[in-house]
Structure 1
Amino acid sequence: MRILVVEDDPTTAGYIADGLRQEGHAVDQLSEGREALVRAATEEYDVMVVDRMLPGLDGLSLVKSLRAAQDRTPVLFLTSLGGVDDRIEGLNAGGDDYLVKPFAFGELSARVSALARRPQMKEAETVLSAGDLRMDLLSRRVVRAGQEIELLPREFALLEQLLRRKGRVVTRTMLLESVWDIRFDPQTNVVETHISRLRAKVDRPFDHELIRTVRGAGYRIEG
């Protein structure tokens, strides 16, 4: 397997590259985002391991540029930013997996191997839809019936979770964990408040509702 490692910390980069080479992989090692963008345009790789915080061109911008150029090479993001919003941002930028520092090399190796086995993502998979509503995960645009809808980051993340489980019930607990990174059930109405705001933008201006309340269970988006 041929792997490109883009990491500006020489100790971390060497640790990753040496470990992958010992497993028999061919590894190229770069420390700057713009150089990596040029290299990826001229060389073919099976997987890229990319640090989010890079000099010159950061990891998110690098991967967005690759995806805009129709480069579908699987990307594993490395970062010290481990919050749910950070992971969502990385995946929405076009990353395929996300590993938080510090990490065990064994886990990194397993994730790299899994990405190499995974069929390459098709462009259609970057768009979620329900009825006449479409969400583009790369451009972060939401359009319903030809009308663009401006969503705040939490609203976007909330709608994304509903669309990813279209036709299925999404519980309050699932939303607290995936959107707010809350691992317990506090006495808060944050989910209900944001659902109400989301409905005001996504449903009320249109002729039928997509977001339904399933009493005693959670929410479901139809379409």
Structure 2
Amino acid sequence: MSKKDNGSPGVSPELLAECEAVLGYEFRDKDLLYRCLTHASAAKTRLESNERLEFLGDAVLGLTICETLFTRFPANAEGELTRIKSVVVSRASCATLARRMGLEKYLVLGRGISAHGRLPSSVIAAAIEAIIGGIYVDGGFDKAHAIVQRLFMDDILSAAQLESGINYKSILQQSVQRQQGATPGYRVIDEKGPDHSKCFKVAAVVKDQEFPGAWGPSKKSAEQRAAENALCVMEGAEPPHTAE
């Protein structure tokens, strides 16, 4: 988290370049990227913060996710597409993605907000929306669309695997912690397919016991299926997801 006070720069050119590498996009307008990263607490006026870009990025994100879901899941009804979208574009999901990418390191924050340790989810989620808006302004819709798809695809596939909103990983974790005082882990057993369309075989592991593995179109979705397999085995039932 970079601090800005009395007009001193908050993010060096080196950090901006590092941020671009994390995003997988190089801004033509570096000042625009800087504004994407600038919270209102560090800006002289709200118009110089990332708030307007957040407003735009929220719309670009929503449209891209809707178009992706419409195209990728032709057999899903409107209600199911709406459920998946609500999970993927939620403030909590955006904040989790931003933290996973390490975006906190590049944000320009006023001393008041940066002095409180862990950033509120609303601040870091707004930053990733502002960055999406900035990419749209800097490179156009196609560039922003591609970045959103790349960054959010795992979350899209994971949310799609949560049939009826059931989070099997969470259920397994609670069950194992309650019964055994342990935390389940997940091991990638195999993977196949080209880099842009890989599938993964994952098994849930509790202490020394490895449960039947399951394939999925992303590590997250495979973990959900592996967790469901483990729960079924623990209950004496057949695992629903075969490993082949």
TM-score, normalised relative to structure 2: 0.31
Relative to its length, the structure with more helix (as a share) is 2
TM-score, normalised relative to structure 1: 0.33
Find the structure with the greater CA-based Rg: 2
Higher relative contact order (CA 8 A, sep 6+): 2
Relative to its length, the structure with more strand (as a share) is 1
